[in-house]
């Protein structure tokens, strides 16, 4: 009996020795606050009317709260003073007109300097496309001088050719602040092979020193929407898959970026099974007025989102004249809701100006240029129609036997603005079957069907195929919103698929705003490789299936 008891006690002790590490909560190694694209503007002395809107008449086409930006930064720093992160990271676009207005940089640097002196919390910055240019008033040299106290003073190494540097974060991590910008062309990425090789060298040095590399740069590393390099090519680095593969295999697990102004977390798995996460951050001076807080341990990395919920409107009105009592009331009641309204007003202004073939990326030499141009022109004029009432979309839809889902949205512009706001907010919850998605698809189809006398239905189906009509994503949208085989509806699904999969859906399995990912010490490479093989096998099968359908269709045309 004693032997049995001793055996059972040994088992219990062994189980405890195995189980306790799995349940014990590790002490936090590092806490970061990350805010990108501050886009600070020197506030105007008086508000200027830009658009015809009863409340947001000063909204600009960038949808950024320029006159309030300095006060938003003040509130962000106040919150950080309370929450006390170990470090603050700013992945570029500290100011809005930094290439020409050096005073904006001086103002932001002074805010940072005052914060560091009061709290002792270091701030690390890197430049964005709005901050400098070698042919501008503010060059890389001036940038590094102005922000000498915010990363460069603690740098282990600084590249003379650009603004890149490295610095230690606590006892276990190393920051690689990478200048991803072109030296002269704004928005263009400038991540040269030389800079990529420099990153490799720095990861090797970090490993030799027993530290985990954390990377910060302005341009996105991984797609945050379908075909981002094609649709928004200047917002993501060139050769991004190749670079992500290298960074992941060099031991970088977390990358903090900005530029796209959206809250999105994307993951890439290398062929060797190494994962890298790109945390794209919103613009602090735009809806949703968010920033991130990241908690590191070796086994897991937890992240959450914080919001700027208030600003000092008394100080604001002493600086800027022209705010109405209603505007101030709305700001004080719910600053986030006010920022959302500002975004939607500015967005309609922007889209009206930006819906051109050049902006969409279609050349005049493309065979379907004329057709898409006509369709876009119709859309910009008729998306202003109300959904219900006299002379509305619903009355037109009834002529074609189409029923619109009930909605509180005023018109399609209002709905589109909501979808874009959801994209910026992150963690998009809509599906192809959601009322908002079905409403938008049917509305656009109704408008195009109303004008089908000037559109070739045969051409529409061919153009839809050229736009990716055979893909699963387009087919899913088409089946969710429409019955039958009308070419206009098929074309609508193909035309809007990139927009919807950018702004409405997020099905990559990684939450954008709050979640937990594996820490730097965790190795799941075998499982990750198996998942990769399964994913690519399914993709290859789908491509073969699509090619077969195209060939089969072509043969039928020839035979028929």
> pLDDT for 29-64, tens place per residue?
999 999 999 999 999 999 999 999 999 999 998 899
Cα–Cα dist 409/394, whole Å: 13
Q: Judge whether residue 531 has pLDDT over 90.
A: no
> Do 424 and 485 lie in a common domain?
yes
Cα–Cα–Cα angle for 219, 192, 169, rounded to 5 degrees: 60
Q: Which of 119-133, 401-415, 530-544 comes out lowest in average pLDDT?
A: 530-544
Q: Judge whether residue 549 has pLDDT over 90.
A: no
Cα–Cα dist 467/463, whole Å: 6
Give the model's pLDDT for residue 17.
Answer: 36
> Do 539 and 466 lie in a common domain?
no
Classified as helix, coil or strand, 392 is coil
Quick check: is 22 in a domain? no
Contact call for residues 80 and 71 (beta carbons, < 8 A): no
Question: Strands across the sheet with 165-169, in order?
Answer: 157-158, 165-169, 173-177, 212-216, 254-257, 275-280, 264-269
Give how far the C-alpha of residue 25 lies from the chain's centroid of Cα atoms, to the nearest Å.
Answer: 32
> Do 311 and 379 lie in a common domain?
no
Place of tokens 């990529």: 196
Which of the four pLDDT bands, split at 50, 70 and 90, describes residue 356?
Answer: low
Give the model's pLDDT for residue 192.
Answer: 92
Token output for 395: 């009355």
Quick check: is 18 in a domain? no
Quick check: is 216 in a domain? yes
> Do 530 and 500 lie in a common domain?
no
Range of the domain at 463: 360-509
Token output for 262: 């959206």
> Do 502 and 528 lie in a common domain?
no
> pLDDT for 473-510, tens place per residue?
888 888 999 887 778 888 888 888 877 876 788 767 78
Cα–Cα dist 418/461, whole Å: 29
> Do 309 and 403 lie in a common domain?
no
Cα–Cα dist 235/257, whole Å: 10
Quick check: is 453 in a domain? yes
Place of tokens 């035309």: 495
> Do 36 and 133 lie in a common domain?
yes
Token output for 282: 């919103």
Give me the mean pLDDT over the 135-164 stretch: 97
Quick check: is 354 in a domain? no
> Do 533 and 394 lie in a common domain?
no
Give how far the C-alpha of residue 352 lies from the chain's centroid of Cα atoms, to the nearest Å.
Answer: 22
> Do 289 and 364 lie in a common domain?
no
Give the model's pLDDT for residue 200.
Answer: 98
pTM of the model: 0.84
Which of the four pLDDT bands, split at 50, 70 and 90, describes residue 231?
Answer: low
Quick check: is 72 in a domain? yes
> Do 377 and 334 lie in a common domain?
no
Which of the four pLDDT bands, split at 50, 70 and 90, describes residue 295?
Answer: very high
CATH for 260: 3.60.21.10
> Do 503 and 528 lie in a common domain?
no
Quick check: is 20 in a domain? no
Q: Please count the structural domains in the chain.
A: 3
> Do 328 and 447 lie in a common domain?
no
Classified as helix, coil or strand, 412 is helix
> pLDDT for 512-527, tens place per residue?
999 999 999 998 877 7
Cα–Cα dist 342/58, whole Å: 9
């Amino acid at each position: 009996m004693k032997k049995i008891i001793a055996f059972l006690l040994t088992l219990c002790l062994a189980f405890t020795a195995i189980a306790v590490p799995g349940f014990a909560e590790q002490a936090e190694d590092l806490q970061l606050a990350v805010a990108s694209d501050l886009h600070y503007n020197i506030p105007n002395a008086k508000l200027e009317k830009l658009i015809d809107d009863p409340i947001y008449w000063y909204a600009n086409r960038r949808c950024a709260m320029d006159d309030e930006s300095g006060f938003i930064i003040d509130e962000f720093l106040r919150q950080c003073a309370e929450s006390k992160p170990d470090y603050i990271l700013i992945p570029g676009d500290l100011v809005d007109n930094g290439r020409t207005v050096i005073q904006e940089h001086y103002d932001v640097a002074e805010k940072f300097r005052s914060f560091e002196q009061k709290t002792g919390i270091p701030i690390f910055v890197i430049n964005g496309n709005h901050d400098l240019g070698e042919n501008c008033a503010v060059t890389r040299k001036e940038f590094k001088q102005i922000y000498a106290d915010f990363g460069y003073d603690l740098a282990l190494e600084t590249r003379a050719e650009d603004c890149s540097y490295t610095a230690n974060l606590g006892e276990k991590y190393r920051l690689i602040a990478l200048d991803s910008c072109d030296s002269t062309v704004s928005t263009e990425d400038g991540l040269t092979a030389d800079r990529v090789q420099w990153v490799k060298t720095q990861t090797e040095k970090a490993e030799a020193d027993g530290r985990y590399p954390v990377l910060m740069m302005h341009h996105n590393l991984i797609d945050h929407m379908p075909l981002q390099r094609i649709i928004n090519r200047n917002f993501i680095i060139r050769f991004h898959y190749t670079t992500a593969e290298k960074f992941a295999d060099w031991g970088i697990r977390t990358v903090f970026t900005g530029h796209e102004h959206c809250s999105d977390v994307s993951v890439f798995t290398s062929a060797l099974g190494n994962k890298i996460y790109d945390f794209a951050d919103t613009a602090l001076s735009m809806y949703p007025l968010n920033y991130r807080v990241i908690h590191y341990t070796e086994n897991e990395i937890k992240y959450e989102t914080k919001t700027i919920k208030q600003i000092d409107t008394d100080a604001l009105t002493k600086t800027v004249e022209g705010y109405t009592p209603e505007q101030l009331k709305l700001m004080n009641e719910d600053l986030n809701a006010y920022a959302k309204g500002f975004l939607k007003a500015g967005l309609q202004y922007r889209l009206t100006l930006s819906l051109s073939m050049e902006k969409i990326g279609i050349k005049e030499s493309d065979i379907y240029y004329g057709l898409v141009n006509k369709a876009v022109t119709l859309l910009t004029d008729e998306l202003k129609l109300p959904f219900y009432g006299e002379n509305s979309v619903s009355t037109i839809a009834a002529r074609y036997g189409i029923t619109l889902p009930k909605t509180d949205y005023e018109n399609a512009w209002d709905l589109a603005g909501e979808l874009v706001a959801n994209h910026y907010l992150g963690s998009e919850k809509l599906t192809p079957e959601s009322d908002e998605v079905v409403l938008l698809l049917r509305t656009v189809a109704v408008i195009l069907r109303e004008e089908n006398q000037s559109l070739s239905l045969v051409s529409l189906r061919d153009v839809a195929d050229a736009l990716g009509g055979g893909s699963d994503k387009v087919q899913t949208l088409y089946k969710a919103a429409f019955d039958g085989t009308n070419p206009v509806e098929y074309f609508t699904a193909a035309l809007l698929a990139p927009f919807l999969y950018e702004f409405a859906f997020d099905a990559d399995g990684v939450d954008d705003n709050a979640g937990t990912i594996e820490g730097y010490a965790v190795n799941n490479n075998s499982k990750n490789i198996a998942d990769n093989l399964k994913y690519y096998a399914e993709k290859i099968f789908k491509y073969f299936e699509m090619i077969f359908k195209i060939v089969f269709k072509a043969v039928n045309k020839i035979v028929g």
